[in-house]
Amino acid sequence: MKVSIDTRTDIMTLLFKENAVVAESDEEKPGIILDFDADGELVSMEILDASRRITRADHVDVETIA
């Protein structure tokens, strides 16, 4: 998974599948865009106005729970 923040556009992107082709995008909630491949699998999520919606966007913690 890759997380990127474009400070020019204020968009945070969470990429779940690298090199996947986006076949469809849905704005499930205002400012939250989900991208799907041809099989309906989630490829990425974009969060618009990220600086307003996300606390500490400069820091990401990943926790694996076994």
Dump pLDDT digits (tens) for 11-25.
999 999 999 999 999
**Bridge partners (DSSP) listed for residue 4:** 13
Q: Which pLDDT score, from 0 to 100, does residue 34 have?
A: 98
pTM comes to 0.84
Instruction: Lay out the sheet containing 32-36: strands in order across.
Output: 2-6, 11-15, 42-47, 32-36, 24-29
pLDDT in tens, 39-66: 999 999 999 999 898 887 777 788 889 8
The identity of residue 25, as a single letter, is S
Question: Residues of the chain with pLDDT > 90: what percent?
Answer: 73
E-strand stretches of 1-66: 2-6, 11-15, 24-29, 32-36, 42-47
